[in-house]
Structure 1
Amino acid sequence: MNKLKILNDPIYGFITIPNSLIFDLIEHKYFQRLRRITQMGMSYLVYPGAHHTRFHHAIGCMHLMQKAINVLRFKGVSISDEEETALNIAILLHDIGHGPFSHAMEHSIVNSVSHEQISLLFMEQLNDEFNGSLTLAISIFKGEYHRKFMYQLISSQLDMDRADYLKRDSFYTGVAEGNINSERLITMLSVVNDELVVEYKGIYSVEKFLVARRLMYWQVYLHKTSVVAEQLVIRVLKRAKELSHDKVELKASRALSYFLTHEINASNFTTETLDTFSKLDDYDIVSAMKEWQYHDDFVLRNLCEMILNRDLLKIKLKKKKIGKDILKSHLTDLISRCDISQEEAEYFVFTGELTNQAYQQKGKQIKIVYKSGKIEDIVKASDQLNLKALSKPVTKYYICYPKAKL
């Protein structure tokens, strides 16, 4: 069987699967599940084209990693065939632990277990199945491998993950502001003292990348309608779990029922739990909501109807924290109108905050290397005054409450 397949990607054109091990990983049921996990959660309610999946993104990241390896080798950085395969595997599987609608699961029916932790559990399970052939990839993914720049290609402020998702999400949403030149960025990469750096002539591409990231966060990822929709999904799952604990019977798939009826956290996330998690995707949640919209429970019924019919809560963004008196007045109004308890009302009336920081000057900096060999942080190297502003977090506060007809 020919395992060196070619995939046609709308962003990059033809993508080649580099070897049979990677082909077998892509064919595995754990990875195929990513076809059923939306890359951008509920953003399709704002941008109708945003239906692309984690599968698209993971394949795209692997393609960019292949390009980065070729560029670095051309510049004299030695990368063995074993390291090349490990880098491709690590980036391919970096998001394999995402749950339905991407981030909603982390805050609702699985307690304090991040998708990165679940990704690692999947990788370790696959390593057992593939006779230890993922050991080096796992070491790089965890940042334990002695060659630091390899970890930076997987996870940093200019990694292959961001290089793909900004360009891909910009394409599928139609938001042109996020369209970065990932090819140019990768061509400008180099390694100095075992650290990933960008050649000085690539400085404008990095500036564009950081500005694009900031704009994409406000326009797309933190768009107020996407925010309220994701909050509603989190609350649907939270309410379903609450009712399940009270022995209320809810129609749901076998995988979803498992997570509704069990208290799952980092300490009891067993191999059985992982296998059940691998059967959970967006379809489980949507089909459950289609059933639950007819449930007797006021909260569950209304939350599901809101999402399915895109008749969401009203959301207002403010520069200052929402006053407790404003929150209380909306709660009181809903309680009296619908004759429900405060606990039930709090599912529909709540506040939160959104933070956008395009660049962090502390930690994993983007470093520019001059022809002289001098290395400087992008903010200092750039004559673009905006970049200093982009490294400061901007926080906005929101309040959500029902429209009058609830």
Structure 2
Amino acid sequence: MNKLKILNDPIYGFITIPNSLIFDLIQHRYFQRLRRITQMGMSYLVYPGAHHTRFHHAIGCVHLMQQAVNMLRFKGVTISNEEENALYVAILLHDIGHGPFSHAMEHSIVNNVSHEKISLLFMERLNKEFNSNLTLAIKIFKGEYHRNFLCQLISGQFDIDRADYLKRDSFYTGVAEGNINSERLITMLNVVDDELVVEEKGIYSVEKFIVARRLMYWQVYLHKTGLAAEQLLIRVLQRAKELNNQGRNLYASTALTYFLNNKISIDNFTNETLEVFSELDDYDIISAMKHWQHDEDFVLSKLSKMIINRNLLKIKVKKKKIKESKLEMHITDFMQAHNISKEEAKYFVFTGSISNQAYQLKHNQINILFKSGKIVDIVKASDHLNLKTLSKPVTKYYICYPKEQTHIR
């Protein structure tokens, strides 16, 4: 069977699968599940084109990693065949642990189990199936390999993951501000003392990358309407879980029912749990909500209808914390309007915060290599006035409440 396939990607054109191991991993049902996991969660309710999947993204990352390996070798950096394959495996599987609608799962279906931890569990399971051929990839993924620049390619402030998702998400949302030149950035990569650096002539591309990341977070990833939709989804699943715990037997797929009935944390995330998780995707959630919108429970029914029909909560974003009195006012109004308890009303009226830090000064810095051999952090190397400002976290606060409240007051 010919395993050296060529795929056609809307971003990069033709992508080649580098070897039979990568082909077999792509063919595995664990990885094929990513075709059913949206890359950008509920963002398609804001940007109708944002229906691309984690599968698209992972394949794109393998393509960019091939470019990075070839470029570094061209510049005299030694990368063995084993290390090369490990990089391809690690970047291919880096997001395999994402649950339905990506990040919403981490706060509702399971208790604070990050997708990175689940990705690692999947990789360890696959390593047994593939005769320990993923051992080095796992080491690099965990950041434990002695050649640090290989780990930085997988996870860093400028890594292959970000190089793909910014460009890809920009394309599918139509938000041009995020369109970075991934190929040029990769062309400018080099390695000094086992650390990844960007050559001096790539400095403006790095500036664009950091600014693009900031803009994509405010305009897309933290867009207030997408945020309201994601918070609704989290609350739908939390309410379903609460009702199941009270003895209700809600309609749901076998996989979703398992997570509604069990309190799952990293401590009891067994092989059985992982197997059930591998059956769970966006379609389980959508199918359940289509059914739940007709449920007798007011909260579950109304929340589900809001998402299915895109009749979302009103959301206001402020620079200062939301006053408790304002929150209480909206809660009281909704309680009285629908004759429900305060606990039920809190599903529809709530506050929270969002934070955006485009660049972290003390974490896996992006270093610029000058022709003199001097290596300087991008913030100091750049004459871009805003870069230092972009390294400071910006926090905003939001309040969500039903649109009908705006007619009351």
TM-score by length of 1: 0.99
Q: What is the CA distance between 1:249 and its match in structure 2?
A: 1.2
Kindly report which structure 2 residues correspond to 1:290-301, keeping only aligned pairs within 5 A, or say none.
Answer: 290-301=290-301
2-structure distance, mates of 1:216, 1:264: 32
Aligned equivalent of 1:177: 177
Q: What is the CA distance between 1:109 and its match in structure 2?
A: 1.6
Aligned equivalent of 2:265: 265
Aligned equivalent of 1:288: 288
1-structure distance, mates of 2:83, 2:164: 21
Kindly report which structure 2 residues correspond to 1:4-403, keeping only aligned pairs within 5 A, or say none.
Answer: 4-403=4-403
Q: 3-state DSSP class of the match of 2:41?
A: coil
> Which amino acid letter does the alignment assign opposite residue 141 of structure 2?
F
> Which amino acid letter does the alignment assign opposite residue 235 of structure 1?
R
Identical pairs, percent: 77
Q: What is the CA distance between 1:196 and its match in structure 2?
A: 0.3
Q: 3-state DSSP class of the match of 1:42?
A: helix
> Which amino acid letter does the alignment assign opposite residue 53 of structure 1?
T
Cα displacement string for residues 143-202 of structure 1 (whole angstroms, at most 9, x for unaligned residues): 111000000000000000000000000000000000000000000000000000000000
2-structure distance, mates of 1:263, 1:181: 43
The alignment of Structure 1 onto Structure 2 pairs a total of residues equal to 406
Q: How well do the aligned residues superpose, as a CA RMSD in angstroms? A: 0.8
2-structure distance, mates of 1:385, 1:314: 36
1-structure distance, mates of 2:307, 2:116: 27
> Which amino acid letter does the alignment assign opposite residue 366 of structure 2?
I
2-structure distance, mates of 1:263, 1:86: 34
Where in structure 1 do 4 or more consecutive aligned residues deviate above 6 Å? Answer: none
Cα displacement string for residues 292-343 of structure 1 (whole angstroms, at most 9, x for unaligned residues): 0000001000000000000000000111000000000000111111100000
Q: 3-state DSSP class of the match of 1:11?
A: coil
> Which amino acid letter does the alignment assign opposite residue 51 of structure 1?
H
Q: What is the CA distance between 1:237 and its match in structure 2?
A: 0.4
2-structure distance, mates of 1:109, 1:127: 26
Q: What is the CA distance between 1:112 and its match in structure 2?
A: 1.8
> Which amino acid letter does the alignment assign opposite residue 236 of structure 2?
V
Q: 3-state DSSP class of the match of 2:120?
A: helix
2-structure distance, mates of 1:305, 1:112: 26
2-structure distance, mates of 1:268, 1:331: 36
2-structure distance, mates of 1:105, 1:176: 29
Q: What is the CA distance between 1:357 and its match in structure 2?
A: 0.6
> Which amino acid letter does the alignment assign opposite residue 328 of structure 1?
E
Q: 3-state DSSP class of the match of 2:84?
A: helix
2-structure distance, mates of 1:218, 1:97: 25
1-structure distance, mates of 2:109, 2:130: 30
> Which amino acid letter does the alignment assign opposite residue 78 of structure 1?
T
2-structure distance, mates of 1:140, 1:230: 32
2-structure distance, mates of 1:354, 1:49: 24
Q: What is the CA distance between 1:252 and its match in structure 2?
A: 0.3
Structure 2 gaps, min length 5: none
> Which amino acid letter does the alignment assign opposite residue 243 of structure 1?
L
1-structure distance, mates of 2:249, 2:86: 45
Q: What is the CA distance between 1:360 and its match in structure 2?
A: 0.4
2-structure distance, mates of 1:185, 1:362: 21
Q: 3-state DSSP class of the match of 1:399?
A: strand
2-structure distance, mates of 1:366, 1:148: 14
2-structure distance, mates of 1:148, 1:378: 19
2-structure distance, mates of 1:249, 1:402: 28
> Which amino acid letter does the alignment assign opposite residue 37 of structure 1?
I
Cα displacement string for residues 72-95 of structure 1 (whole angstroms, at most 9, x for unaligned residues): 000000001110000000000000
Q: What is the CA distance between 1:382 and its match in structure 2?
A: 0.1
Q: What is the CA distance between 1:404 and its match in structure 2?
A: 1.3
1-structure distance, mates of 2:169, 2:94: 17
> Which amino acid letter does the alignment assign opposite residue 214 of structure 2?
R
Q: What is the CA distance between 1:71 and its match in structure 2?
A: 0.5
Q: 3-state DSSP class of the match of 1:395?
A: strand
2-structure distance, mates of 1:124, 1:381: 40
